[in-house]
Structure 1
């Protein structure tokens, strides 16, 4: 029997004694969050993607937003205390976070960057985020995710006007 390989995200949760469920699915390459939710059966409104941005100050920030939504960069900059933030280029994800595109978890990055979770996560007992590699999703309590990543909840998505 093969031993389950833990990701940095899982090791971090284990270290902090935080309960989580791991869901694995067949996937060889990047697929977006909506397709991931479809494969895992996770409710779309409880599924979140991890985006990394860089502020004018050159500081990196992590934004955890619902998979069907887009981050509102002006609002994200405001909550981060920056003049502006821009999403990092895809090719830089691994260098900055230690994760690959489609497997980027808000947990266990190379460094603990200031993290903001969209406040809709507070409406749920459990949310789904990347488990730290393509084909792995973690389901956990959003308050515990915020605690271990030292995140703040904030309204950081684009709203239809």
Structure 2
């Protein structure tokens, strides 16, 4: 199956970063992270979601966390240096990132926002993030993702009990 190159893939290609493309069926409309992990037959710890937040200063921040986890906004605000962070409204995702919900890649957003990758990613050889289009994921080395996004490695999630 041939793939249309997304902006994220073009950036990885131009930086000679190795990655694999993983596609999944979107007919059932289940595009949340846990559904995607199941569809591509991977553990939820290996699949990461990209969350975009906005601080009280107006600055945007990107957080890349395992799909089964929830972002702790208080801890995320602390690591970003903001007093308070909120998730941006879903309708604003395309305006700020150039991507849509369910297809928001941490690579190749409209602007380079301060980005944070959850520390658990660094224990894995590869992680999976959105490829920039619903139905397309990219598998790559977490250090390469850190390099290309300029991300800091952090601990900022609330584990579900």
* TM-score interval, normalised by the smaller of the two chains: over 0.9
Matches within 5 A, 1:63-142: 63-142=63-142
TM-score of the two chains, using structure 1 as the length reference: 0.95
Supply the distance in 1 between the matched residues of 2:55 and 2:128 (Cα, whole angstroms).
26
CA drift at 1:111: 0.6
RMSD, matched Cα? 1.4
Q: What secondary structure sits across from 1:78 in the alignment? A: helix
Task: Compare the two structures and name the one with the higher strand fraction.
Answer: 2
* Matched length: 160
Supply the distance in 1 between the matched residues of 2:102 and 2:160 (Cα, whole angstroms).
26
Contact 1:55 1:84 in 2 (8 A): yes
Contact 2:70 2:160 in 1 (8 A): no
TM-score of the two chains, using structure 2 as the length reference: 0.95
The question of 1:5 aligning with 2:4 is answered yes
Supply the distance in 2 between the matched residues of 1:104 and 1:42 (Cα, whole angstroms).
19
Contact 1:77 1:84 in 2 (8 A): yes
Structure 1 moving runs of 4+ over 3 Å: none
CA drift at 1:30: 5.3
Could you tell me which runs of 5 or more consecutive residues in structure 1 were left unpaired when the two chains were aligned: none
CA drift at 1:59: 0.4
Residue by residue over 1:99-150, the C-alpha shift from the partner in whole angstroms, topping out at 9 and shown as x without a partner, is 0100001001111100000000011010010000000010000011001000
Contact 1:42 1:128 in 2 (8 A): no
Supply the distance in 1 between the matched residues of 2:82 and 2:65 (Cα, whole angstroms).
19
Residue by residue over 1:58-94, the C-alpha shift from the partner in whole angstroms, topping out at 9 and shown as x without a partner, is 0000000100000010111111111111000111111
